[in-house]
């Protein structure tokens, strides 16, 4: 494609891929240190992995784990806000939100470069699989799919299981997002890794890269890494451009800060060459709100 950039807007995006321990404070301190490192390397937007303040506790159904939740604003979001202001970076932090007695969410907080809380996104799709018993803990989100105008561009945020749903990416893109972030906690079950591990990881990456293509947006997915309980988190954090090309990718077994320059001017260029949004048949999509189309009519 003979791309011509009339609106070049370059931002540096960072994904923090790290291990987590049981106690909140060391994880928050590590995340703050990684944010400082990313900012020193020139990052403008820093996204942390899903539920970064502790271990991935959803491997079992245990009422004691609700003690890990906190309000927003609360200690972790306020620490992130202070870091955003100190370093002049936009921060996305994924937290276990205590909204009210008996009402908890898997929530991402979005903080602008001056520390202002721009809003939150509550995870919409909640899984219930072996070692991923999230329905026990999290109420599905009720804020819909949204994006946020930050100092460095308009960003959308979804969380982990949301990444498998093209509807979520599409609706987020339709709110104006130029980059969609997916804080993630996904790993291999030991008994499945040898046979299915490569295929599972490839499907995960391919799915999100397809969101880049279908919507003409950058996608950034920070995943956790390391062994926690019965799960081996596969890392592999990545950033893809609006053509679905991988422009940065992390390892499967190390903590890393993945940083890549994203020219947001490419969004318009790609969308005018591949006009998928123009050619959508919105008059014909009414059945998308049905669970399943049983009759052939």
**Residues designated catalytic:** 50, 123, 160
Output the CA torsion 114→179→289→138 (10° steps): -50
- Residue 284's CB is within 10 A of a number of other CB atoms, namely 8
The answer to whether 146 touches 121, Cβ cutoff 8 Å, is: yes
């Amino acid at each position: 494609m003979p791309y011509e950039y009339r609106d070049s807007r370059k931002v540096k995006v960072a994904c923090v891929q790290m291990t987590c321990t049981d106690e909140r404070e060391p994880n928050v301190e590590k995340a703050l240190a990684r944010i400082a490192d990313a900012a020193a390397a020139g990052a403008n937007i820093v996204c942390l992995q899903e539920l970064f303040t502790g271990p991935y506790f959803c491997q079992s159904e245990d009422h004691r784990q609700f003690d890990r939740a906190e309000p927003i604003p609360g200690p972790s979001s306020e620490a992130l806000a202070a870091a955003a202001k100190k370093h002049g970076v936009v921060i996305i932090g994924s937290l276990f939100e205590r909204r009210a007695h008996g009402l908890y969410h898997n929530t991402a907080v979005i903080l602008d470069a001056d520390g202002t809380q721009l809003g939150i996104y509550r995870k919409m799709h909640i899984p219930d699989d072996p070692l991923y018993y999230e329905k026990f803990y999290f109420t599905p989100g009720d804020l819909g799919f949204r994006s946020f105008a930050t100092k460095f561009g308009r960003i959308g945020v979804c969380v982990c299981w949301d990444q498998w749903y093209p509807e979520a990416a599409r609706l987020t893109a339709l709110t104006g997002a130029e980059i969609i972030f997916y804080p993630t906690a996904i790993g291999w079950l030991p008994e499945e890794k040898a046979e299915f591990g490569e295929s599972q990881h490839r499907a995960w990456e391919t799915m999100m890269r397809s969101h880049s293509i279908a919507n003409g947006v950058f996608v950034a997915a920070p995943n956790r890494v390391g062994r926690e309980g019965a799960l081996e988190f596969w890392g592999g954090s990545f950033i893809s451009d609006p053509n679905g090309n991988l422009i940065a990718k992390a390892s499967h077994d190390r903590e890393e800060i993945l940083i890549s320059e994203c020219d947001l001017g490419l969004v318009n260029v790609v969308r005018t060459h591949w006009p998928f949004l123009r050619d959508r048949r919105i008059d014909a999509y009414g059945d998308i709100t049905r669970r399943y189309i049983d009759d052939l009519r």
